[in-house]
Amino acid sequence: MNKRIKLLQQVLIILVAGSLATLFVMPILITITNSFMTGFEISNRYAIAVSPANHFYTLEVFPQIHFVRMTLVPMWVTLRQYFTLFQDVGYINSLWNAVLITAPSVLGQMVICVPAAYAFEFSRWRHKEKVFFVYVVVMLMPLPVVLVPQFIVAGWLGISESVLAIILPAIFAPFGVFLLRQFMKSFPTEVVEAAKIDGAGQILILLNIVVPLLKPAIAALALLVFVDYWNVVDQAIVFITDPARQPLSVYLSNPRIRDNFNIIFAASVFYMLPALLVFLHGQEYLVEGMKMSGLRG
């Protein structure tokens, strides 16, 4: 009897987990398959006529309204929207701007966070915990709060209309230091002390001992930073007003493509594809890094 109950529980858990997984995957599948639809079919399925004189969306007052009819299988398959998308100079510029923002942000944060976390954890400076507390406070502040001082400093430096206004705060973001330091709390201190006794300097200890042990956490941090700044919106809108310099995350709100639903679906596929591939490739590092760093100390 107990075996049957356990088997039933396992089946229910699998069904619930499978249903939730399908629910979360459906938007991705719909976006990919609908990107191969013709503009006419997409407009017929998704476009809603809006009456300028009436904003009450009820069938009695607004009888011409129709409901969205989603599907996974297009009636006609076409690649025309993809060719149109890659012929758009604005899209290519936005794609390049996204790379210019994301790549330096990821690499720069790795270069800064690893030695900073090492210094916070293994240095003997008596005020380090006070400074680290400031790091944590800044990390917990909501983005709109820190955007104001960042905007002021960007104006002082003359980089308000440059991607540097986004990259520099990203490089010195406190979350990476916090995450890596939490991971370092699980290090055996005897290894570091033995290296010091053998005459190894701080740089050698960092490069030859700490960094190899930090690989899962570094990979997890790189993945999180990549997804965060690939999807950057608020900073891109605040710091960069020129559409030619804005990243791909802002491109989908461009008035020129807002009414072209087929172009929007195609652009959405290429927008989510890098983040999806990076996540699928690095999900093991993400799980391992978060498991080993998040709840120690």
Question: Any idea what the CATH number is for the domain that residue 139 is in?
Answer: 1.10.3720.10
Mean pLDDT to the nearest integer, 185-203: 75
- Domain assignment present for residue 71? The answer is no
Evaluate if pTM is beyond 0.85. no
pLDDT value for 155? 87
Q: Where are the alpha helices (DSSP H) in 87-142?
A: 89-122, 128-140
- Domain assignment present for residue 47? The answer is no
Q: Where are the alpha helices (DSSP H) in the chain?
A: 2-34, 39-46, 80-86, 89-122, 128-140, 143-157, 164-171, 174-184, 189-197, 202-205, 211-213, 215-230, 234-239, 248-251, 261-293
Q: What is the DSSP string of 143-162?
A: HHHHHHHHHHHHHHHT-TTS
- Domain assignment present for residue 153? The answer is yes
- Range with the lowest mean pLDDT among 24-33, 134-143, 192-201, 246-255? 192-201
Number of domains in the chain: 1
Whether residue 66 has pLDDT greater than 70: no
- Domain assignment present for residue 240? The answer is yes
Q: Express each pLDDT in 77-114 by its tens digit.
A: 888 888 888 888 788 888 899 999 999 999 999 999 99
Whether residue 61 has pLDDT greater than 50: no
How far apart are the C-alpha atoms of 33 and 265, rounded to whole Å? 9
- Domain assignment present for residue 43? The answer is no
pLDDT value for 293? 53
- Range with the lowest mean pLDDT among 19-23, 46-50, 257-261? 46-50
- Domain assignment present for residue 274? The answer is yes
- Domain assignment present for residue 75? The answer is no
How far apart are the C-alpha atoms of 249 and 237, rounded to whole Å? 10
How far apart are the C-alpha atoms of 175 and 226, rounded to whole Å? 13
Q: Express each pLDDT in 135-152 by its tens digit.
A: 888 888 888 888 888 888
Q: Express each pLDDT in 249-277 by its tens digit.
A: 888 777 666 667 778 888 888 888 888 88
| Residues spanned by the domain of 139 | 97-293
How far apart are the C-alpha atoms of 262 and 269, rounded to whole Å? 11
Q: Express each pLDDT in 163-182 by its tens digit.
A: 899 999 999 988 888 888 88
How far apart are the C-alpha atoms of 119 and 262, rounded to whole Å? 51
Mean pLDDT taken over the chain: 80
Torsion, Cα 87 106 137 116, to 10 degrees, reads -160
| Residue of 165, 157, 127, 133 lying closest to 241 (CA atoms) | 165
What's the burial of 230, exposed, middle or buried (CB within 10 Å: 0-12/13-18/19+)?
Answer: buried
pLDDT value for 256? 66
Q: How confident is the model at residue 289 (pLDDT cuts 50, 70, 90)?
A: low
